[in-house]
Amino acid sequence: MPERYLLHLDFSSPTPVYAQLVEEVKRAVARGHWKPDEKIPSVRELAIKLGINPNTVAKSYDELVAQGVVRVQRGVGVFVAATPPEAERRKLGELAGRLERVVAEALAMNVPRADLRRLWVRAVRNTYGTVR
């Protein structure tokens, strides 16, 4: 799984850059790349790193604050918010939902159950490591 930088933007996507950045930060947090209370890059720092305007980063951070994902301490920095326990359950529910959607699509594409199972086993093995 090659990855340029933790956060990835696609400038030719129709989705606005600020919205992509919001999703990317949420993903980094959800995946545990950034932990609760960890300091994340400042507006300026991130703007330079991503080659975008600080205003754009600021807009994304605004949104993330509103969504309770990060918290800003003026003059200090931006930090990952502590994840409320409730968020845990919500995340599990999302996972379940995503699995169901993938399976539904496989069914719609007439993928045989056995083939789908094979894809699943491979995905788990690649990610969690060989069983036991």
Partner DNA sequence: GTGGTCTAGACCACG
Task: State which of residues 8, 23, 36, 53 lies at the interface with DNA (CB under 7 A).
Answer: 53
Q: Does 5 bind a copy of itself (CB under 8 A)?
A: no
Long-range Cβ contacts of 85-92 (<8 Å, 24+ apart): 91/30
Task: State which of residues 6, 26, 42, 120 lies at the interface with DNA (CB under 7 A).
Answer: 42
Min dist. Cβ of residue 24 to DNA (A): 13
Min dist. Cβ of residue 113 to a copy of itself (A): 5
**Would you call 3 helix, strand, or coil by DSSP?**
coil
Residues touching DNA: how many (CB under 7 A)?
25
Q: Distance (Å, rounded) from C-alpha 54 to C-alpha 80? A: 19
Q: In what order do the strands lie in the sheet with 39-40?
A: 39-40, 77-80, 70-73
Task: State which of residues 7, 29, 34, 61 lies at the interface with DNA (CB under 7 A).
Answer: 61
**Which residues touch 42 (CB under 8 Å, ≥6 apart)?**
77, 78
Q: Does 79 bind a copy of itself (CB under 8 A)?
A: no
Phi, psi for residue 19 in degrees, rounded to 5: -70, -40
Q: Give the binding site for DNA (CB under 7 A).
A: 14, 16-19, 42-45, 52-56, 58-59, 61-62, 65, 72, 74-78
